[in-house]
Structure 1
Amino acid sequence: MVTTPAPIAGAAAPAKKAPKQLPPPNSDFYEFAETLNAEEQAVLKQVRAFMETKVAPIINKYWIEDSFPFEVLPAFKELNIGGLGMQGYGCRGGSLLLSGLVAMELARVDCSFAGFFGIHNGMAIGSIYAAGSEEQKQKWLPPMARLEKIGCYGLTEPLVGSGASRGLMTTAKKEGDTWVLNGQKKWIGNSPWCDISIIWARDVADNEEKGFIVENKTTPGFSVEKIHNKIAFKVVQNGLITMKDCRVPAENHLQSGNSFRDTARVLRTLRYLVAWQATGCQMGAYEHALKYAQERLQFGRPIASFQLIQDLLARMLANVTASQCMVVRTAQLSAEGKLGDHHAALAKAFCTYRMRETVAWAREILGGNGISTDYNVARFFADAEVIYNYEGTYQMQNLMVGKAITGFSAFV
């Protein structure tokens, strides 16, 4: 029989092994943030600090309650990122790469909060910036950039989604110095509480789509009903907008918003913005899954030490990094004036498809805990379904790419 020798009298006890220092979760594996200049890196760090200290500790509560964390808005305004990526009119400016990385950073902590800002900044401010007259820009953009007035974007309708280019059911009729709007818009983020809606409607005179700035709280005939019972994007407040003989002054007609081509100019930017959000969603799910795997013990050791778990984590990181490579290139193309609809469509389709895969693997790593909001991954898993669908479905994006590469349109 083998016996353990008794310790020698007076000998020092063996030193305890220091706990192993594990690498912190880092989803920016190729260090894209380092490509920004020092000033823009500082902005990105401020956004990360805000999201990690103000939003992350409370967001699960608001997500469960299907409500928006208005309490964080004062601190969010202090970041001064309204109008990011746009120049003048009180907008923050900055590179399109910074704009994308900020969208990614917001989604890395919470996709819904990123959605709120993307709707306001990319859709509402972006529409006025792209299609508004000089007077409209001077009037609306400064308070919107300061987040004193929050906007939403009304294109989708109860019976019109992917078919928006072929005829909206919401109508606009010119009567003297006003436009009369009638119809409904559905799934409009921010609409239950925001100040301004960008509404796209079909002009009954020429059958073309036109854009309008509608002041939600002071325009007769304009009402919003909050949409309840969602399983995803629960922090974003979505609404059903109803317009009954809603009279909008002619000065609020977007002067360069007179056809679907003008709508598409805004949508092009939005699609590649959604690709950034999808990438951020993957980053958040990956980082939570990695941290969980490093701490979760099974069979006496962390599951991160198991081959199958490491294989999943490596695949997730590859999806994240591939998506980052693609969206960084779209920002470069956009800055050079070369970004086409087909470029934005491919980025949106690819990044959202990979996002679905990544968040599913994250949920798998957490096992049963993967369906509990206490561990965060469930929130990313659910929110990914919205990002996959909105601003154009996966299939519609692929048809846009298909038309560009074959020369044939497969649209009905």
Structure 2
Amino acid sequence: MTGTLLGLYGAPMANIVRGQGAWLYDDEGHRYLDFLSGIAVTSLGHAHPVVQEALVGQLGRVWHTSNFFTTPPGLEAAAKIGEIAPFEDAGVFFCNSGAEAIEAALKLLRRARPDRPKVVVLSNSFHGRTFGALSATMQPGKRIPFEPLLPGFLEVALNDVAGLEEALADPEAGAVLFEPILGEAGVYPLGDAFAEALIRAQQEDGILLVADEIQTGMCRTGEWLASSHYGIVPDLFTLAKALGNGIPIGALVTKPEVGAAFLPGDHGSTFGGNPIAATAAVAVIEFMQRSSMTERVRHLGDLALPLLKPLPGVTQVEGRGLMLGLQLSAPVAKEVVERAFAAGLILNAPKADRLRLLPPLIISEPELTQGCELLAGALGEVLG
């Protein structure tokens, strides 16, 4: 008898055997500059020594206890997240992924707003592939094969203020779930006017704001949370991806008055808050704090923009910090990704005419420049 992976991801680009810093190495000896970071996960790069040391230490203590107990790493991770939250007395629920964090948020909204169960979401949003998270995801290609999905979601186009106000006029609308920058869609930021409308709805109408910071959080955009760029203080936010730098962990973080709606037994996760994963989260946050990572990312983002804007075929660069989307003049993004990979650069094409760049936050200035040069070569080859 044999076993093999289900073909859910298409043909693999390579078989990766090792990573170090901003670089990955395959089983044929090729190396690649990683401008994807495992889709915004390995923000501290591969095999980061501080995270590695912390994990090795915890492996000699305890790996798992169940949620009948607390452990020092779990308590410390919750406290560390409280330090980066934009509100006091944050309540933290740990799980294993971003999709699970969204599921927890949706359940909490039902508890906190039982009379206003509808949730406003954005067109082209992406919140995960489990049924609740997929129901809130407004990308037809991901939704249609699995319909009927859960009801209760009101779709609004990104930055359509009038559409937002119309949706929130529904007496059953109680919350807005949003990505501060739509990542999977191709890196599209909220507009200032739309962000201001969200804040008004929160302050004047009691609408709960749920910031999906799974891809945008943990310093990726030059702030701990991308919603902070807009002055938004969400009532709930979700983290995952970079929180564990590759060790699976997700978190729902809530204001205390909202989190109090959850009752014992309302939700749970067998592996949530696992001491191994929590240890990684503590190490990541502490390193980012010591390294003034938000300032570093803002600097690198400022360095990247003048390198990217003049590239052949690039008509627009959007995003913040080291979360950048490149609009192309032709639908050749897939071909550019393939040429770049052959030259030793990993990046991503979320749309036919859009590239997504998510380099590790620890990338050096020479490596950032090198990656932009490799990208320029790939664009030149494809576009002529």
TM-score, structure 1 normalization: 0.26
Q: Which of structures 1 and 2 has the larger relative contact order (alpha carbons within 8 angstroms, sep 6+)?
A: 2
Q: Which one has a larger percent helix, Structure 1 or Structure 2? A: 1
Please tell me whether Structure 1 or Structure 2 has the larger radius of gyration of its CA atoms: 1
